[in-house]
Chain A
Amino acid sequence: MENKNNISKNDSYFSPILNKIGKENKFSTPKSYFEVLPQVIICKKLNSKMLNDRTDNMSYHFLMPTLGILTIIMAIYILNPSSSNLELTNEQLSEIIINEEIIEFDENLVYEVYTETEPSPSSEQTTNEEIIDYLINDNININLIIEEL
């Protein structure tokens, strides 16, 4: 209640202790601070404006075209089916080895890979002539086979 009365009677609320100390400002600044400050602020303002203008120009003249070119390159790379095939053919592999792009490699491992990927002679398709020769050499009766079929 007493507080409320104090507030309503006097907006500033008079304090004897504070009145005794006074309102004098005991903070200080470096010499001529307020004389220099406007120039410092205006310089800072100009710098920030120049920086903004430069960023705008950069984005208009440099960043935007670069971004466009990069997008096109990325699109070509993604849409090109050959670029997505990361498996090397035997020819490409040989070329790399010949050009010594691979400095160290295990020869046994290369041989194993080569034999695995090369089609075996048994899997090759045989011609009719070869079949006939084979049957003649083994004395197999061709007519008998035809009858069975």
Chain B
Amino acid sequence: MAIETDKYILNLFRDNKSKNYAFDLIIKQYQERIYWHIRRMVINHDDADDITQNTFIKAWKGLENFNEEAQIYTWLYRIATNESITFLNKKKRILFIPILDIEKDLSNQLQSDNYYNGDEIQLKLQKAILTLPEKQRLVFNMKYYDDLKYEEISEILSTSIGALKASYHHAVKKIETFLKED
């Protein structure tokens, strides 16, 4: 069904008269999933907002050459993931934050974030997720929160399914250990 919808949207996009309408459909259909995926990576709403906008602008520019065999949302996820990683790397460079401390910085941001209202245990879970290496964090978020299939994550991250399963398993183990502490 999703593929049919994609086909319908792409057909609309190829017609100059309905191009803007098709793009509007894409945004409305995928904005929330993409935003939450980015938000879990960068934590701060303003940063997530900027990256979401950039993701869709890039999608608009690349939609002409979009391969019909792929799904629009996995393609959008891939752009969003790349944009988030680029943002985090830039942040590390600009603020001279060592690689290991960027997650600490995000964890501090989470505590003072007006747009986060989780209780103590949920805050601890988020902090546990932030201790994971970038790739494990991505895999965990996509599997646990977004309920994506390994096949889809594999397409987004260009990683083998076996590696993803192992990555997810390690991530869960680390989170469990973190949550059991004190």
Contacts and interface: CB of A to CB of B under 8 A. Distances in A.
Contacts of A24: 122
A128 interface: no
SS class, residues of chain B in contact with chain A: helix
B57 A37 contact: no
B45 A38 contact: no
B136 to A, nearest CB: 13
Interface string A1-41: 00100110001110101100101111111100110011011
SS class, residues of chain A in contact with chain B: helix
Interface stretch (A42-50, A63-71, A107-115): A42-50
B115 interface: yes
Given A17-B176, A26-B116, A41-B27, A12 B143 contact: yes
Given A3-B169, A11-B150, A41-B27, A27 B122 contact: no
A42 to B, nearest CB: 7
Contacts of B77: none
Range of interface residues on B (Cβ < 8 Å):
35 or more
A26 B129 CA distance: 14
Contacts of A25: 36, 145
Interface in B92-144: 113, 115-119, 121-122, 125-126, 143-144
Interface of B: 20, 23-24, 27-28, 31-32, 35-36, 39-40, 45, 49, 52-53, 56-57, 60, 113, 115-119, 121-122, 125-126, 143-145, 150, 165-166, 168-169, 172-173, 175-176, 179-180
Interface of A: 3, 6-7, 11-13, 15, 17-18, 21, 23-30, 33-34, 37-38, 40-42, 44-45, 48
The 6 closest A-B pairs by CB, nearest first: A26-B118, A38-B27, A28-B115, A41-B56, A7-B165, A15-B172
